[in-house]
Chain A
Amino acid sequence: NAGVTQTPKFRILKIGQSMTLQCTQDMNHNYMYWYRQDPGMGLKLIYYSVGAGITDKGEVPNGYNVSRSTTEDFPLRLELAAPSQTSVYFCASSYWLPRSTDTQYFGPGTRLTVL
């Protein structure tokens, strides 16, 4: 199993450009998440999904959109990139059941710079 994969690993965008960060998991997990990690800060939840076709906002959703058409894929769309979106983006997945540890497995991250 590859686990959680993310592409691209690095990207530089100009202000106002758009892009999609790809995330795929092959563990048949029901939950998927997008986080951003800024220097000196904890991970912040952008969006999450509890299953195909269902998404919901996290703490910092502004400027982002997501979709979950399949169990495996959870792309994150940035529209009109701004310097404040410069960050490291992590996708994660977990298989949640009641009374489970609900371990989240993270992808390797995408380092995004907006200039």
Chain B
Amino acid sequence: RKEVEQDPGPFNVPEGATVAFNCTYSNSASQSFFWYRQDCRKEPKLLMSVYSSGNEDGRFTAQLNRASQYISLLIRDSKLSDSATYLCVVKGESTDSWGKLQFGAGTQVVVTP
């Protein structure tokens, strides 16, 4: 079983619509969670960290469900520029300790005009 699993998609979303997708993780001791964005044939870039109480960054909302071991990302008012692959990233340790990141394979989002 993969440590971090994502629906590969693609999620085809009309411009202006809302899209949401999840990521599940297998290590119940995981402490830190992130969403990275990766454009086609480019390097990953941090989109946002995911906090226990959930958090927003503009049109992006991230949620964490520890009981069911998944995190989610919701994109409101989708823009063409949101088309990318979104990588779910999990770290076993808290921010007090350094730890290796575990990457999911990514969820592809395609925003159409």
Listed in ascending order, the chain A residues whose CB lies under 8 Å from chain B are 31, 35, 40-45, 48, 50, 58-59, 90, 96, 98-104, 106-109
Contacts and interface: CB of A to CB of B under 8 A. Distances in A.
Contacts, number: 50
Interface residues of B, number: 22
A109 B95 contact: no
B95 A101 contact: yes
Nearest to A108: B43
Given A90-B43, A90-B44, A101 B102 contact: no
A51 to B, nearest CB: 12
Contact of A106 (B43, B97, B100): B43
A40 B105 contact: yes
Nearest to B45: A106
Contact of B103 (A43, A50, A99, A101): A43
A47 B59 CA distance: 35
B46 A104 contact: yes
